[in-house]
Chain A
Amino acid sequence: MGKSLYEKVWEAHALRTLPNGQTQLFIDVHLIHEVTSPQAFGMLRDLGLKVRYPERTFATVDHIVPTHSLAEPFEDPQADEMIRHLRKNVAEHGITFFDVTSGRQGIVHVIGPENGITQPGMTIACGDSHTSTHGAFGAIAFGIGTTQVRDVLATQTMAVSKLKVRRINVDGRLGPGVYAKDVILHIIRTLGVNGGIGYAYEYGGSVFDRFSMEERMTVCNMSIEGGARIGYVNPDQTTFDYLKGRPYAPKGEAWDRAVERWKALASDPDAHYDDVVNIRAEDIAPTVTWGINPGQGCAIDERVPDPAHYPEPQRAAIEEALAHMKLKPGQPIKGVKVDVAFLGSCTNGRISDFREAAKYLKGRKVAPGVRAIAVPGSQQVAKQCEEEGIADIFREAGFEWRGAGCSMCLAMNPDRLVGDELCASSSNRNFKGRQGSATGRTVLMSPVMVVAAAVTGRISDAREVFGAELVGA
């Protein structure tokens, strides 16, 4: 019986079994940001410990950065304290920091891949649940809590238990207007928001074989929304082509050796999986959420559920979601009025997302009354968008074109919903209050669907709005 990539990477990094039965796992790359690291540095100080291998940790600032102006001090004194705290910590411990002045700052899950820091076969940890994104490269990437951030800083290892592996095949052809975001929203809807507890998800099949790295990242990113702490795709030529020449990727002979090593890491054809799920690409429609968790989704041409048709406890959950979303039982989701359109986040804030969105936005205008915000995932993405004329397309259409950061994905900076505004969002979470207002409403969708919503002022089917312009993936 062959081995999965997960098993191979695990074996290479497992140092020993701890007294409680967990494994002490070596972490190759540790990524940190301003929100979940300050307490960890505080704990290190209290224990009199140092950062064991500062060269294995990389820092950025993303959650609290204002996107309208980087003038310091930041308007929000708490945000200002957080960035100053991070600067002090990285300077004291000799950690590489992609600061706002570096030209390389951005969302941690955008800049790791973009700089070639994320590589196949690595174990990666970050105090952030969307660390699963890095699995797109065939890395095993863990979202961790702050005490574990301390553990990794102090020992470059952490205590973890091995997961089971579920292989998810998506085969066939995605229809026009169906994107990676729809694939993962469909998977979560199918397997449930807690279906992945105890599993690492290995994504494969012909759709993933054809996907670009950025599309793979979109899917892996939201593994955690399905309960799976880890999601990954086996490395292949697409992976190597993406990484080649990036600043932190190996060069010359070291590159050739690395590629050989990476090829051997992919799951064996006869690898053992604890579970296998097969999904037909043709069954996936442009998908949007109607509720308050990412599993409460439906195809754009479906109706929201009627709680009366469901037994408890689903009924209560649907009632709560519809009440928050101010939707009527059984109403169509299409046509619901939109107040805000947000394009960005670590799910869909990469260059390919803006390129694809710009294709359909070009020559169109944001509907009156809609506040539309575009937030590139990193300063590099922002720069590329300027160079390619994408930023101008957004500005001309009436989008606010902002600086890089997490922004309205979780509204720790000044970008937020007001009252019960409804936001068509390319981000990953539609939890109550997620976008900065306790009564705010979030509808998750692909970037092109966000554009369709922005230009029509309604939740719309991109296939109807853009018609024959849309091509299949």
Chain B
Amino acid sequence: MPLEAIKQVSGRAVYLPGDDIDTDRITPARYLKVVTFDGLGEALFYDERFNPDGSEKPHPLNDPRFKGARIMLVGANFGCGSSREHAPQAIYRAGFRALVGESFAEIFFGNATTLSMPCVTAPKADIAALARAIEEDPNLIVTVDVERLEVRYADKAFKVNLPPTAQKALVEGRWDPIADLLEASDLIEEAHARLPRATLS
């Protein structure tokens, strides 16, 4: 079954300032005590968004002006730390479909791409300008163009980066690699016969 080609993502955006946002913050460990990913959207940034008594803290994701955003603007090294896929799953399940940041941690980036969620990078100044624009007009429609590698809003645009492998996977609808991996059955069998494994001896 062919997957959806992710050529561009459009929608409103929200800005989460700060560098080195780790996956423990994105999805605190207690939300990992689950055997499915269902319902994880509610865990998103839980401890940053809520006090222990459940009342809301000031946080961009609690700001009614940015409810329903599909694009998340972030800083550098976003998604560092734990490899938990729960983090991009929570972001996806909270309705986001693309991230624009200065840089992304590698495992997070791979996990997000495999979920069809592009993580494009751009210089700090471009992200800051876009953040100012959505602060002025939270209803601004932002487009992350994965094919042309640019972000457009109002009458402005800036270039973004995405490794060619991820770009190709997204625009060709191959972001979930399982079908491709399964194809190589003979090569896999040959490697299994050739390569050592750990056996009880």
Chain A interface residues (CB < 8 Å from chain B): 12-13, 15-16, 18-22, 24, 26, 28-29, 35-36, 38-39, 42, 47, 49, 52-53, 55-56, 58, 63-64, 76, 78-79, 81-82, 85, 115-119, 121-122, 127-129, 131, 143-148, 150-151, 154-159, 161, 193-194, 197-198, 224-225, 227, 229, 247-251, 254, 258, 293, 295, 313, 316-317, 320, 410-412, 429, 431-434, 436, 438
Contact = CB atoms under 8 A, between A and B. Distances in A.
Contacts of B195: 12-13, 26, 28
Interface stretch (B7-15, B102-110, B129-137, B142-150): B102-110
A36 B83 contact: yes
17 contacts: A15-B187, A29-B197, A35-B84, A38-B34, A56-B197, A121-B196, A145-B88, A145-B107, A146-B86, A146-B111, A157-B191, A193-B80, A197-B106, A248-B198, A412-B30, A433-B47, A436-B30
B201 A250 contact: yes
Interface string B70-84: 000001110011111
B32 A320 contact: no
Contact of A429 (B34, B81, B181, B188): B81
A16 B184 CA distance: 8
Interface string B13-41: 00000111010110011101111110000
A39 B178 contact: no
A429 B24 CA distance: 10
A313 B19 contact: yes
B192 interface: yes
B55 interface: no
Given A119-B198, A229-B106, A251-B201, 12 more contacts: A15-B188, A26-B188, A39-B85, A63-B32, A78-B33, A147-B115, A156-B191, A157-B191, A159-B177, A431-B22, A433-B47, A438-B52
A47 B178 CA distance: 10
B172 interface: yes
B181 A159 contact: yes
Contact of B191 (A26, A35, A251): A26
A121 B36 CA distance: 34
B111 A147 contact: yes
B198 A24 contact: no
Nearest to A406: B29
A155 B182 contact: yes
Contact of B37 (A39, A313, A438): A39
B188 A52 contact: yes
B31 to A, nearest CB: 10
Contacts of B115: 147
A266 B159 CA distance: 42
Nearest to A314: B19
Contacts of B182: 49, 154-155
A316 B20 CA distance: 12
Interface of B: 18-20, 22, 24-25, 28-30, 32-37, 47, 52, 75-77, 80-86, 88, 103, 105-107, 110-111, 114-115, 163-166, 168-169, 172, 174, 176-178, 180-182, 184, 187-188, 191-192, 195-201
Contacts of A224: 81, 107
A447 B22 CA distance: 24
Contacts of B169: 20, 22
A52 B198 CA distance: 16
Could you say which of A81, A121, A155 has the most chain B C-beta atoms within 10 Å of its C-beta? A155
Contact of A129 (B36, B75, B82, B165): B82
Contact of B33 (A18, A39, A79, A157): A79
Contact of A144 (B18, B36, B107, B172): B107
Contact of B80 (A58, A194, A249, A320): A194
B145 to A, nearest CB: 18
A306 B1 CA distance: 56
Contact of B25 (A21, A76, A432): A432
A412 B29 contact: yes
Contacts of B29: 410-412, 433-434, 436
A317 B77 contact: no
A252 B105 CA distance: 43
A258 B198 CA distance: 12
Nearest to A438: B47
Contacts of A115: 198
Nearest to A229: B106
Nearest to A43: B178
Contact of A18 (B25, B166, B180): B180
B172 to A, nearest CB: 7
Nearest to B82: A129
